[in-house]
Amino acid sequence: MKIVINYDFFDKILDARENINILKVVRNNKKSYIYYYLPAFLTVNMLMNEDIKTALLALPMEYLTVVTLDLIEQKMAKKDNYKEKAIIKLKSLVSKLQDLGVETDYDLLLQSKLYERVNNLYLNENKLPEIMTSKYILVPSYNHSRDIKNTSILQEHIIGSSDYVLSIGTKAKEYKLVYSKI
C-alpha cells in the first residue's frame, strides 16, 4: 500500500523541527521563485539592460532580496508560518502512516532521519526522460510490545510533478565484484 501526498515529507519534518532561518525560507520559496519571481525579474532586467549577461547577473541578488524580506517579515511578526503548516500536515500524516502499519506519533515523527537519497533517470511511457528522486527515511515507530524501533519509509518523487509517494521500503544492497587476494 502507498500513500500519495503533495509535499516533501522530510522537508516538512525539517520545517517543524527548525526555528525560522534563511535556509528554511529558501527551502520553502524555491517553487514560487522559479514560477513567479524569476520570469518577472528577468523581464524587468531585460527591459532595463541591453545585454542578457547583465540581466542574468542581477537575478541572484534579487532572489536574495526576496528571501531576506520574507525572513524579516516573519521575524517581525514573531510567527513561523512554515512551522505551523508543517505541524498540521505532519499530524494528519500520522494517521495515514498508521494505515500503512507504521505505529508512530507526531513526536516520534520529528526524530526521523534521512539516511539515503538516490536520483535515477527513467523514460516514461511517452519516451521522455524523467528524474525520480528516492529518499529513504528512518521513522521511529512502536512495535507490538510498544518498544521503539526504526521503520524505513521510501519517498519517491518525479521532479516536476506534485505527487510524493510514501511506502515502506529499504534500500537494496548493491554488490560489487572484487578480485580475490589469494
Query: Per-residue pLDDT for the chain (182 aa), expressed as one digit of tens each?
Result: 788 999 999 999 999 998 888 888 888 887 778 888 888 888 888 888 777 888 888 888 888 888 888 888 888 888 888 899 999 999 999 989 888 888 898 999 999 999 989 999 988 888 889 999 999 999 999 888 888 888 889 999 998 888 999 998 887 777 777 887 77
Q: What is the pLDDT of residue 81?
A: 84
Sheet with 113-123: list strands edge to edge: 3-5, 164-168, 148-158, 129-142, 113-123
Quickly count: other Cβ atoms within 10 Å of residue 25's Cβ.
Answer: 20
Which of 56, 76, 4, 66 is CA-nearest to residue 30?
A: 66
Give residue-wise pLDDT tens across range 152-182: 899 999 988 889 999 988 877 777 778 877 7
3-state SS class at 7: coil
Whether this model's pTM surpasses 0.75: yes
- Give me the residue spans of the domains in the chain: 20-77, 103-168
Q: What is the pLDDT of residue 36?
A: 84
Q: What is the pLDDT of residue 120?
A: 92
Residue 157 dihedral angles phi and psi, to the nearest 5°: -145, 130
Residue 88 dihedral angles phi and psi, to the nearest 5°: -60, -45
Instruction: For the chain, give percent helix, strand, coil, nearest 5.
Output: 45, 25, 30
Length of the chain: 182
The Cα 103–Cα 169 span in angstroms is: 15
Element of type H or E holding 123: strand 113-123
